[in-house]
Structures are given as structure tokens and as C-alpha cells.
Structure 1
């Protein structure tokens, strides 16, 4: 089926879409969490369908947190402005859990595999990755509470996370009384939320797309040696976390040596580019077992503003919350508790 895809080719007069298969015009969006993006895509596909009397248009949302209820509301709004002959040839599709459902009707048995083929083709080409904005926004609130202690606006959270206002509202809603809401609409955590932090830990590997590497030569380089080589390579978007990062923020951390190197890679809305690993050390090979010893671990930082700090010698330091997550992920629980106690003491003194 995929071999029949005729992407952006053919005699059509309409704007280019992601794929045209027969009379089907297909636009695919990954990880969309804002209705305005759906609205824009729907209107653009509607223009294309309006120019071609035999075409049918499909706006396909893959890996999207938007609910069917909200999509139905958007469909009803579109129905008030679109010509009926165009509206009847449009479908919004939601691809979740391997199934494609549609509004106002599910695609038929013939269209299902066609749409699935386009999704997989686009997924292979698109440099995208889904962001867990609830994870990101809670992490930003923790970072703010543990550093400056200043309250923030929803606008700041949306801009820093790189998401929409509804995504911010969804992330803040479960926090309830943990949040102090100021009269000027700014918010700040009242205290360190241990239960919420436990949730961050539980979802950290997935939300940060953690990738582990182990030395296969039998003569592993030290973390400090890898850092020196990284400084020379200077790959973009890299920050140092883990033990080295925690020691930067708290030199008194009780740990001799550096068991591994943790790196944060700024990858907002895109897949991590790990090409630098081969240049850094060809002996490092990816491992999938999270319990196997690793020499180097890379974590994605998905927010729009990475919140990295400058570092003498090049590269950057990742933020304290990332370092804290790294220590837990490395099973350095005693050091993680010590580091958190230090951060909390500084926050309370402030």
C-alpha cells in the first residue's frame, strides 16, 4: 500500500499536502496539542478540497493529546463557515493506540490502511517527538521553586515549555492546593511536592527519552575524559548533568569519583540527534537494559527554553532538577536525598 503513495505529485491545482492517494488529500500532524493548529490545517485542506470537486480531505492527528470531545467542538465551528459540499468531503482523524478514528465518521476499511501508511511514512521522515507537557511544566515549577522562588505567569510557562495555554491549564489543574495563586494571576509552588516528584521519577525515562551507552572495549574512558573530548567537539544543545552537575551546584556532595556521565540534550519537539556519540567515543554502544551498567547516558530536554546555565570551558550545565532526576535514575539515592536537602535548605533560607 505504501508504494502507491504519491506525495506532493500529480496535476492537482491545490496547495501541496503531505500525500495524495487517489482522490484522498492527506495532511498529518504529530503531537498537536493546540486546537488552533487543527483549525489551520483543516482550513488549508478545505481550500484544497474546494479546488478539486472529486477530492476528499483528511487531517490526521497522530500522538495528539486532544480529546474527541474537543475535536467535535472544533468540527461544529468549522461547519458554520465551510460550504456544505466541502464539509461533506472532510474528515478529522485521530490516530491513537494503533487505531484511526474519525470525525464526523471513521474512515472506511479501504482508507484505514492508506492513512496508516501515510502516518508511518511521515513519521519516518519527520524529525518530531511527542512532549509530555505536564512533566515539563511541573519540572519548570520545581526549578523555579528551588532556585529563584519567584512566581510565574501562565504566559511564561507556555513560552518556556513551548506549548499552548490549554496545555498549561491541564498541567496546573491537578496540582490544586499545591499552587499558590497570586492576585496578578502568577503561580508558585507552596512547598516541595514529594508525591508529584515521585510521579516525575516514574515517568522520567519516557518523558526524557533516556538513552544509555556502555563501553564495549574493556578499557572505558572516564567521565572527565569524555567531558574534555566533548568540549573539543562542542556539539550543539549539550549540557552536563548527573553527578558532575550536582557537584557544580553542591560541591559538598558525598560521592567519590564519577560513576558515569549524564548529558542533557536540548531537543524541543524533535528526535534526539545522537550522531556526536560516535565521534566522542566509538567504543560506546547503545544498551536497552535500564539496569545494565552504563558509562554515558543522554536525556532529552523537551521544553522550548532549556534553562541551561553557562559553563567555563564550553558546553553548559543542565538545571538542578534535571541533575536530581539523573541521580535517582542512576540509583544514587543517598546522594539524591543529600542534594535535594541542600536545594530545599537554600530555598527555605531565601
Structure 2
């Protein structure tokens, strides 16, 4: 059966309600679908579509959706590459979400491939095989893929919003991010299209409220966008983040700020987590690469981690915008990473409830 690129139409499925990050849902709400098609769509678009599905599951407070499926009919990517990209990103998602996500790869000819293998999705694959695909309306815009430039612009806007610092001029936003006027303008247009940004009469801009939709997509793509460097102690000794912290404080490197749970304590005094699970550092790298000697000076026994985030005793987060936006600590010690970087650190450690507690506390203070 020849398949025409377009919008998927399936019996038993209805279009998503307005504002949702998926395209179709089953009539019983058990399955939601995101459909991607067209020549030239690649890894970035696949990652963005996965982020949309992760947001859909995260927003499903009642637990109605058993599966979120990406139906991928991309001309420019083979099945092995699509499967590899899927596996590369899905491991970064927390278990309750990633265990409910699936990829259905639709070739022009031949069987539909499913990742992960799941007998419950075979019926859906048969429906897709038997259903024609309607052509995409010419007016439908090309799907937006979050880039590193958009990521930096968004983070600065969110820092300003959480600090209640008021609107930002376009010139200042370009200066803080180190991005060009056209690049920043494109990011602002996308946020405005999503209803998350307001343009003022004096050409300044600000977020309208906490941007939950884009924040959810950012969280799903966080590992790819931030490219954290994880380090382990291969000596066999018990992990000792406090020892590393004492070394960093004694020999403070240039352009380094505390992140993670230590920064969370600085931003929200009520933050309470027993012990230090790992040491998170934000490193300002506006125009260069991370110097491995920085780690050697802290502890020469540390080595880059091969496993997942839970193995790390030290995590370094490169910060590649023009201005670091660090906050000096009250005691004159190491500065603290901005609140947005701190929240991203907490989500990476699966401390989601603590991160949202901080956001809610900050938003309450803004409303006073």
C-alpha cells in the first residue's frame, strides 16, 4: 500500500482538543498519537515530537492515557537511525513517562516497525496500514524544533520572569544571550505564537505567565540541550560529594557556580533534602570548551561517567550564553547558578516535586 505524506486519519481516533501537544487520541482516551511526516525531517524534529508526547503524559493528571505513540513517516531517516535516536532520548525521561511511550515507524512499503515491541500496539499498526493519509494543508506551518539558541533565549526570559525583573528590551536580550537580532526575534515569535510571550508598546518583551508548555518540552530535551558532563570516582571509595565541595571552595575555579541542591537551598530556604546526593556545578563557557584540568584540580581520580545520571558524584553543566547571570553568595563564597539552571538540575535528579515547590513559592511571592 502506497502511503501519501499527510495527516493521519484512523477509525476510532478523534482530533486532539485545542492546545494539546498531540494530534489524535483514541475515543476511550487510552492512546494519544503524534504524527510526523515529510521529506527532510530528521533527529531534531523527532526529539521535539518526543518532547510533545512527554508533555502530554505529564499533563495527564488522571492517568487516562496508557500510551503516547509517535507515528513517524519521515523520508530522510532510516529505521535503524530512527530507533537509535529514540533510544538515545527516551533513557533521559523518568520511568512513569518513558514506559508509556512508543515509536511506530511507517515506511512507504513493508511492515511498520515498533519500538519498544508491544503486542498491544500491533492493532494500531494494522489500523495505520489500512488507513489512507490525507494531504497536509499547504497553510500548516512546519513543526517547530527547539534549538540551542531558542533554549538560551527562553532561559533568560524565564530568569527575568521568576525574578520579577520586568520586561526585557530586545537589545538587552541579545546582549545577555550573545545571539543575533534575527535569532532572538525568531525565538520571541515562536513564544508569542504559543501565547507565552507579550510584546509591549516600547518594544520590550516579557513572559505572560509561567510557560508550562515550553517548559515541559525543555525538560524532555534537557539532556540534549544542556550536554552535562558527569564524573564518577572509580577508586571504589564511597561517593563523597561533600569532599569535592570542600575542594571547590578551597580552590574556586573561574566562571563556576554552585547548582543543584546547594543552589536550591540558596533560592528557597525551605528546601530540605537530607545529605548531598551529588555536586552540581554550572560552568560559564561563552566561547570555548570545558577544560578537563578544572576537574583534575578538584580531584584527579575522577573520570567521565559511562552510565546514567545516578552514577555521578559530580555533574558539570556548561553554560554557553554571553552572560552567566550568577548570583553572588551572601558569605562571599562561590556564586550560585540562576534559578532556571537550578530547576533544570533538580528535574535531572528526578526531584520534580521539590522543583515545582520552588516554582510555586516564587510565583506566590511575585503575586504579593
Q: Which TM-score band applies after superposition, normalised by the shorter structure?
A: 0.5 to 0.7
**Equivalent pair of 1:149/1:347 in contact (CA under 8 Å):** no
Q: Distance in 1 between matches of 2:263 and 2:343?
A: 9
Aligned to 1:317: 336
Deviations 1:266-303 (A, max 9, x none): 01132122321122112321113334421110001111
- Is 1:153 the counterpart of 2:169 in the alignment? yes
Deviation at 1:222, TM superposition (A): 3.1
Measure how far apart 1:199 and its partner are: 1.8
CA contact (8 A) 2:230 2:309 kept: no
Partner of 2:323: 305
SS in 2 for 1:213: strand
| Aligned-residue offset at 1:189 | 0.5
Q: TM-score, normalised by structure 2?
A: 0.57
CA contact (8 A) 2:309 2:349 kept: no
C-alpha distance in 1 between matches for 2:306 and 2:170? 37
Counterpart among 127, 152, 155 of residue 136 in structure 1: 152
Match in the other structure for 1:184: 202
For residue 180 of structure 1, report the CA deviation from its aligned partner: 1.5
Task: Report deviation, 1:333.
Answer: 1.7
In the comparison of the two structures, how many residue pairs are matched? Answer: 221
Change beyond 3 A, Cα 1:194–1:266: same
Supply the distance in 1 between the matched residues of 2:196 and 2:310 (Cα, whole angstroms): 37
How far apart are the structure 2 equivalents of 1:289 and 1:334? 25
Q: Distance in 2 between matches of 1:276 and 1:201?
A: 28
- Unaligned 5+ segments in structure 1 are 1-96, 98-130
Equivalent residues of 2:326, 2:335 under 8 A apart: yes
In the alignment, is the contact (CA less than 8 A) between 2:241 and 2:279 conserved in 1? yes
Name the residue aligned to 1:18.
Answer: none
Gap runs ≥5 in structure 2: 1-76, 78-146
Paired with 1:280 and 1:346, the residues of 2 have a C-alpha distance of: 37
Task: Identify which of 251, 270, 273 aligns with 2:291.
Answer: 273
Matches within 5 A, 1:219-234: 219-220=237-238, 222-234=240-252
Runs of 4+ in 1 over 4 A off after TM superposition: none
- Residue 223 of structure 1, CA deviation: 2.6
Match of 2:348 in 1: 329
**How is 1:74-153 mapped onto 2 (pairs within 5 angstroms)?**
132-153=148-169
Answering whether residue 367 of structure 2 is matched by residue 348 of structure 1, we say: yes
Give RMSD over aligned pairs: 1.9
Give the match's secondary structure for 2:198. Answer: strand
Residue 270 of structure 2, aligned match among 252, 255, 279: 252
Give the drift of 1:243. Answer: 0.3
Q: 2:184 aligns with which of 168, 177, 182?
A: 168
SS state of the match for residue 183, structure 1? Answer: coil
CA distance in 1 between partners of 2:217 and 2:293 (Å): 31
Contact kept? 2:281, 2:315, Cα under 8 Å: yes
Superposed CA deviations along residues 52-88 of structure 1, whole A, max 9, x for unmatched, are xxxxxxxxxxxxxxxxxxxxxxxxxxxxxxxxxxxxx
Query: How far, CA to CA, are the matches of 2:307 and 2:228 in structure 1?
Result: 11
Kindly state the Cα deviation for residue 181 of structure 1 after the two structures are TM-superposed.
1.1
- Given that residues 178 and 189 in structure 1 are in contact (C-alpha distance below 8 angstroms), is that contact kept between their aligned partners in structure 2? yes
- Residues 228-237 or 293-302, more deviating: 228-237
Show CA shifts across 1:12-64 (max 9, x none): xxxxxxxxxxxxxxxxxxxxxxxxxxxxxxxxxxxxxxxxxxxxxxxxxxxxx
